[in-house]
Chain A
């Protein structure tokens, strides 16, 4: 059971380049999330999805787009990378509380992104 898998693990981009981060979960979770983690800032929610085909903005959505075409996958896109987007990105997934999941979030190993 792989849980939550993120690819790639590391990436270096130049300013203005684009890229897509992939998150895949094999736990049949409805909810999926993208966070960024910066020193001293904790985990900040970028976008989230409560089901296949749905997405919503979180706390810091600017400069990012997401898609959830399949239940098990949640993609995070950077259209034109900026140095301010240098961060560690975590994907997470959970069952909704209605299914007894208590919204306990399971995190992937993270993607370390540097934008030069």
Chain B
């Protein structure tokens, strides 16, 4: 079945450093979504990318969708303690319109 892999599994940074997490799918995706889960919280939708090569920004967060629509990345510039949490990517499961396959996530911790 479809697999969505994320690296790294963990990342610890000093506040102010940049952070990047990568997401790779075993199949071409029609779209990819990113979610953030704060410690002890629940996943919250951040963004969806649909077009090949698409780049979207949300303040210090930059999301990219690969040209082949099989990979994606999330880059955070100048991390803050409020960025702490687990970042998940998710893509349609086997082309399904109603199921998502989530990556295992990247846990980001930030040292103030």
Contact = CB atoms under 8 A, between A and B. Distances in A.
Given A40-B9, A41-B104, A96-B98, A102 B31 contact: yes
Chain A, interface residues (CB within 8 Å), range: 20 to 34
Contacts of A97: 97-98
Contacts of B35: 105
B43 interface: yes
How big is chain B's contact interface, by range?
A: 20 to 34
B98 A103 contact: yes
A110 B37 CA distance: 12
Interface of B: 9, 31, 33, 35, 41-45, 48, 88, 92-93, 97-100, 102-105
Interface of A: 31, 33, 40-43, 45, 48, 50, 58, 90, 92, 94, 96-98, 102-110
